[in-house]
Structure 1
Amino acid sequence: MYNPMWEELRVQLMEEKNRLEQRVKEAEDLPALIEESVGELNSLDDQHPGDSGTELYERQKDLTMFRHAKEQLEEIDHALNKMDDGTYGICEKTGEPIPLERLQAMPTARYTIKHSHDEL
């Protein structure tokens, strides 16, 4: 079931994919850098404990954002693959069409709103 509006959604997905890929590329070494910086913080005896906590918090926040970007990329790839194989816009639980309004609001939607809570 093809819809011409999907071309606009494909462009939107590709733009978001490019943005996220850039963010992930910039942060590829983040896990190793976090481990290194936490190790350095632990070796500084004169470091105030609050400074160590703040640094650890910032590194963990960065890592969480990195992981979230990777998850978003997976969802975008899934949606693009569904567009390619002709199953985009179909609820993965029921096989019902996903309303265009939902896809416009969330182009990576896999389920109708009614069934999206079932997957949480």
Structure 2
Amino acid sequence: MSTLRSSRLGAIVLLIASLAGLAIALYAYFTPLTGVTGTLGALVATVACLALVVMALLLAVIKSRGASIALRVLILLGLAGTFLAGLLLHQWWIGVAMVVGLIGLIIDMLRPSSQVHPTQA
């Protein structure tokens, strides 16, 4: 596997999990008899998953170390909040998608740094 592909694997996993959570939240919001059709909670879960999609795309292209750390913290908070919202809405698959997203975030944090400091070389 090339270095470029392996360095973005975590962001890709996070993106796929966020898109899956978005699809599940949209299904719960629009489909009758899900128990949360048209509720504010399902709409918030949808918006949170959409925000996670945007942050996953940003994570794949960001180069700055400080910005990537700040973005990872925001993604972690978003994953935890959306996981909780999914459980409170009894939409267990949203919770599963957020756990997969957490795995993607962990993979992204374990990727090798592209910038080597002169003192480490």
TM range, smaller chain: 0.3 to 0.5
Please report the TM-score for the alignment, with normalisation by the length of structure 1: 0.39
Structure number with higher relative contact order (C-alpha < 8 Å, ≥ 6 residues apart): 2
